């Protein structure tokens, strides 16, 4: 089932999410729905708060042939950083440069309840960091430069206003 994606200004995007305690059929269904929703929107990632689910999980499909279903992730960030343009399904039409760790070591549980440890770089590293931020109510627009923030402020305000109407 394709779920409704929450848009900038909606409260669901700013909540602190809770650990997944048990991988039960309900969780599996939500993860499958999130994959369907991400694919329909042509996204590379989608986090649970983006569809109004208050849980620490996200899905990723960066086009490497693997659809990752990530539950309760932990991330270790490299000191070395890199700048790259980002967008977000919850912030349509806005693309800005964000500075992030170059590589990350991720530990998470997948939908089969297996512990996965990966060291990732490039697009996958960026996608993990972006989606993991969603789990703490952080959006990429919070992390852009002060100049970029000023440039997108009006667009974001308009987006949030539309949500409240």
Rule CB under 5 A: is residue 13 a binding residue for Co ion? no
As measured in angstroms, the least distance from the Cβ of 8 to Co ion is 10
Q: Which is nearer to Co ion, 86 or 111 (CB)?
A: 86
Q: Are 59 and 67 in contact (CB under 8 A)?
A: yes
* Token pair for 2: 């394709």
Minimum gap (Å) between residue 3 Cβ and Co ion: 14
Stretch 77-96 residues interacting with Co ion (CB under 5 A): 88
- Please state, in angstroms and rounded to a whole number, the distance separating the CA atoms of residues 109 and 116: 6
- How many residues bind to Co ion according to rule CB under 5 A? 1
The reply to whether 131 belongs to the active site is yes
- Considering the complex, state which of residue 51 and residue 88 has its C-beta at the smaller distance from Co ion: 88
Q: Is 135 helix (H, G, I), strand (E, B) or coil?
A: coil
Tokens 């086009």: give the residue. Answer: 63
Measured at CB, which residue is nearest to Co ion? 88
What is the DSSP annotation of 72-103? EEEEEE-S-EEEEEE--TTSTT--EEEEEESE
Which of 22, 119, 131, 165 does the annotation list as catalytic?
131
Residue with smaller CB distance to Co ion, 108 or 128: 128
Q: Locate all alpha helices (DSSP H) within 24-121, ordered by sequence.
A: 25-40
Task: Give the footprint of Co ion on this chain (CB under 5 A).
Answer: 88
Residues classed as catalytic: 131
């Amino acid at each position: 089932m394709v779920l409704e994606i929450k848009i900038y200004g909606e409260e669901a995007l700013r909540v602190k999410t809770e650990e997944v305690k048990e991988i039960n059929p309900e969780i599996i269904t939500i993860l499958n729905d999130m994959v369907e929703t991400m694919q329909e929107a042509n996204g590379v990632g989608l986090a649970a708060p983006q569809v109004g689910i208050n849980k620490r999980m996200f899905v990723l499909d960066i086009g490497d042939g693997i659809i990752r279903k990530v539950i309760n992730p932990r991330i270790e960030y490299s000191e070395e950083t890199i700048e790259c343009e980002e967008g977000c399904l919850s912030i349509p039409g806005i693309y800005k440069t964000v500075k992030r760790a170059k590589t990350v070591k991720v530990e998470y549980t997948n939908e089969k309840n297996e512990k996965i440890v990966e060291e990732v770089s490039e697009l996958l590293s960026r996608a993990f960091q972006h989606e993991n931020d969603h789990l703490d109510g952080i959006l990429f627009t919070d992390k852009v430069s002060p100049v970029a923030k000023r440039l997108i402020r009006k667009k974001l305000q308009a987006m949030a206003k539309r949500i409240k109407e």
